[in-house]
Structure 1
Amino acid sequence: MNEHNSNDDPQQRELLRVCRIGRAQGLKGEVNVMAFTDEAERRFAPGSVLSTEDGREFTVIRSRSFKLRWIVLFKGVEDRNAAEALNGLELFCEADDAETMADEDAWYPSDLIGLQARLVDGNALGLPEGTSVGTVSDVLEGAAQSILEITSQSADGDALTSLVPFVDEIVPEVFLDEGYLTLDPPGGLIPDPQALG
């Protein structure tokens, strides 16, 4: 899920960017959308309400996935002309509250940025548990799952970047309160921790 703040007013709920509307699909008002969420099935479910930053609301009538994109029909968008008028529009939803997220073992990308990446006990590299291999510097949207960008520093002071799939097999646990996550990377995925500065 990509995160987007609506403004600096603490009374406002945080908005998450869900999608960008693309070209029209067919003649009956459907549009192609590029999803920025890992919960597309939930966000595009019939009856879901998405909104623009200025508050215009769009209710999903139906949706379906096709290859790497979604095709969505919104209430009130009844023909190709109306669909084409939406091209480029970004839609948002309100963020879930933190308690719900914790119960579901879920995080927003901004929660992960800045966490230290440490090797898990019994890791495939055979190195000591807790060995630091860098810091999460970004969370990228991949075709199949999110990708963690982990930045470390070589002994020479050069910045090194690794791209790590955010899947349970490689990133078993996230400890937000403690400021780190654990990694069990296969050989070659990250720089040799013993060569880091």
Structure 2
Amino acid sequence: MAAPENSADKRVCLGVIVAVHGVRGLVKVKPFTETPEALTAYGPLGDAAGVRSWQATLKGLQKGNALLALSGVETREAAEALKGLELYVPRNSLPEPAEEEVFYHDDLLGLAVEDGEGQVLGQVLSVQNFGAGDLLEVGEPGERSRFIPFTQAVVPTVDIALGRLVVDLPEET
């Protein structure tokens, strides 16, 4: 099981450019943050590789999306070229969660998932929410996976530093 990526190198996706707005290069961003305003709170936004980055200025909100001006993107054509681009910040630019039992979804990815006896069941492949609460997708890449509710009762132990979490799965009937 691979250890979690070093947080100094890790990048966290805050949103994705879904459309352009107007003729002056504004982009419409679907935020993955708690509020759309948070998109501009953690410094420049960059691509997944960290090669390109932009200073972002919030220009407005539209149906839950943020309208952003990105430095150097001044025409509709330049903005169109960025459609579909995910926007990232370095993980270490985000504040640590204020509460002990609160985690960034991204910090859970790749953690080993063990049962109460220490048997490894797989790793966290993704965190999903289909409307009824967070679910951990657990398995091995390329193999069949399963979803486990991310609740205190089912996941009593999360140890980011050790790269693991412990699950107490309900008996299957």
Alignment TM-score, normalising by the size of structure 2: 0.59
| SS of structure 1 residue aligned to 2:77 | helix
Q: What is the aligned partner in structure 2 of residue 44 from structure 1? A: 39
Deviation at 1:74, TM superposition (A): 1.8
Q: What is the aligned partner in structure 2 of residue 147 from structure 1? A: 135
| SS of structure 1 residue aligned to 2:27 | strand
Q: Is the 1:47–1:60 Cα contact (8 Å) retained in structure 2?
A: no
| SS of structure 1 residue aligned to 2:109 | helix
Unaligned runs of 5+ in 2: none
C-alpha distance in structure 2 between counterparts of 1:95 and 1:50, whole Å = 12
Q: CA RMSD of the aligned region, Å?
A: 4.2
Counterpart code for 1:174: V
Does 1:24 pair with 2:20?
Answer: yes
Counterpart code for 1:114: A
> Where do 1:57-76 residues align within 5 Å?
57-62=53-58, 64=61, 66-67=63-64, 69-76=65-72
Does 1:179 pair with 2:155?
Answer: no
Deviation at 1:148, TM superposition (A): 0.7
Structure 1 residues 33-55: Cα deviation after superposition (integer angstroms, max 9, x where no partner):
344x4456575126731123362
Does 1:81 pair with 2:77?
Answer: yes
Q: Is the 2:46–2:88 Cα contact (8 Å) retained in structure 1?
A: yes
* Structure having greater relative contact order (Cα 8 Å, sep ≥ 6): 2
C-alpha distance in structure 2 between counterparts of 1:47 and 1:78, whole Å = 22
Q: Percent identity?
A: 18
Q: Is the 1:21–1:32 Cα contact (8 Å) retained in structure 2?
A: yes
Match of 1:162 among 123, 138, 147: 147
Greater Cα radius of gyration, structure 1 or 2 = 1
Unaligned runs of 5+ in 1: 119-129, 152-158, 184-189
Structure 1 residues 126-175: Cα deviation after superposition (integer angstroms, max 9, x where no partner):
xxxx8x8x555422343666421245xxxxxxx772342x3567656523
Query: Relative to structure 2, which stretch is displaced further, 26-35 or 50-59?
Result: 26-35
Q: Is the 1:65–1:71 Cα contact (8 Å) retained in structure 2?
A: yes
Counterpart code for 1:149: E
Q: Is the 2:15–2:39 Cα contact (8 Å) retained in structure 1?
A: no
C-alpha distance in structure 2 between counterparts of 1:178 and 1:87, whole Å = 34
Q: Is the 2:18–2:29 Cα contact (8 Å) retained in structure 1?
A: yes
Evaluate the alpha carbon distance shift between residue 50 and residue 73 of structure 1 in structure 2; reply closer, same or farther with a 3 A threshold.
same
Deviation at 1:93, TM superposition (A): 1.5
Alignment TM-score, normalising by the size of structure 1: 0.54
Q: Is the 2:14–2:39 Cα contact (8 Å) retained in structure 1?
A: no
Counterpart code for 2:45: L
Structure 1 residues 3-29: Cα deviation after superposition (integer angstroms, max 9, x where no partner):
xx7xxxx8x733233333222123342
